[in-house]
Amino acid sequence: MSTHVPRKAVTPAAVLARKGREPLVCLTAYTTPMARLVDAHADVILVGDSLGMVVHGLPSTVGVTTEMMILHGQAVRRGTSNALLVVDMPFGSYEAGPARAFETAARIMTETGCAAVKLEGGETMAETIAFLTARSIPVMAHVGLMPQQVNTTGGYRVQGRGADADRVLADAKAVAEAGAFSVVLEKIAEPLARRITEAIPIPTIGIGASPACDGQILVIDDMLGLFTDFRPSFVRRYAELGQAADAAIAAYAADVRARTFPAPEHTFPDA
């Protein structure tokens, strides 16, 4: 049983200061109950646009809206007191330019109470990151595999192999120089992820990257095995809750059909 021990609230500055030190523990969360569980152990909670697929059944993150991110961000904020809360900026909400990105980021932060936002993109987003950070909006960057761009990059393939390594390294250096306080490295060849971590002054947070990264993040539903038919190769399952839930639901259905639930102890006698 987990005991929630109060800790000092994590800030973007505290995350930045962890570069090269104790690894950062990061997980996604989309609801208040899950946020409470994660908050007891994690340094960073990300309300990722992965909620489009995980919670809403969308085929990709592209259909996620700012309103969806705010709704789930508000729910997670209610369950978070220690971890740094970061909310993803969804596809189409920031790419048009720095001013548009500022409007979206300011709205997300104001309406959710999060402490930072995350956006995808390397060199092409450097100007936007610099614009946001100069206006008191902490930014977590995201390079390598960028799910919002899968329609133009050829799917969910590994990034940074061979000649592609220079591009990914340049992206990571660009977001660091632009003022991001950390950067997610997703599905990047391990030697390159290690090289990037050594080369830039901000913490790297790996997902399918390298144990040498300054932190690690996983989608909570993947890590807990809530999906019985989806097993990314870079995920270690720490539980099989999907199978346990299926068995519990099947047992409940059998009891209802057999009229063994509710039992007398689950009903109310006359006063």
* DSSP letter for each residue of 178-233: HT-SEEEEESB-HHHHHHHHHH-SS-EEEESS-TTSSEEEE-HHHHTT--SS---T
- The answer to whether residue 103 is catalytic is no
Instruction: Match 């306080």 to its residue by tokens.
Output: 181
Q: Is residue 91 one of the residues assigned to a domain?
A: yes
Q: Which of 177, 186, 190, 198 is catalytic?
A: 186
Q: Is residue 116 one of the residues assigned to a domain?
A: yes
Instruction: Match 């839930």 to its residue by tokens.
Output: 245
Q: Is residue 186 one of the residues assigned to a domain?
A: yes
Q: Is residue 185 one of the residues assigned to a domain?
A: yes
Residue 188 CA to residue 177 CA, distance in Å, equals 20
Residues tagged in the binding site annotation: 49-50, 88, 118, 120
pLDDT digits (tens, 9 = 90+) for 217-266: 999 999 999 987 778 888 999 999 999 999 999 999 999 999 999 999 99
pLDDT digits (tens, 9 = 90+) for 6-58: 678 999 999 999 999 999 999 999 999 999 999 999 999 999 999 999 999 99
Q: Is residue 263 one of the residues assigned to a domain?
A: no
Q: What's the pTM?
A: 0.93
Overall number of domains in the chain: 1
The whole-number pLDDT of residue 124 equals: 96
pLDDT digits (tens, 9 = 90+) for 112-156: 999 999 999 999 999 999 999 999 999 999 999 988 877 666 666
Residue 123 CA to residue 175 CA, distance in Å, equals 7
Residues tagged in the binding site annotation for Mg(2+): 49, 88, 120
Residues 6+ apart with CB under 8 A from 260: none
Q: Which tops the pLDDT comparison, 192 or 7? A: 192
Which residue segment(s) compose the domain that 125 sits in?
Answer: 12-239
Looking up residue 72, the CATH number of its domain turns out to be 3.20.20.60
Residues tagged in the binding site annotation for 3-methyl-2-oxobutanoate: 49-50, 88, 118
- Region of 162 on the Ramachandran plot (φ > 0 left; ψ -120 to 50 alpha; else beta): left
Q: Is the dihedral of CA 149, 152, 158, 160 positive or negative?
A: negative
Q: Is residue 212 one of the residues assigned to a domain?
A: yes
Q: Is residue 270 one of the residues assigned to a domain?
A: no
Please, which pLDDT band fits residue 183 given cuts at 50, 70 and 90?
very high
The whole-number pLDDT of residue 44 equals: 98
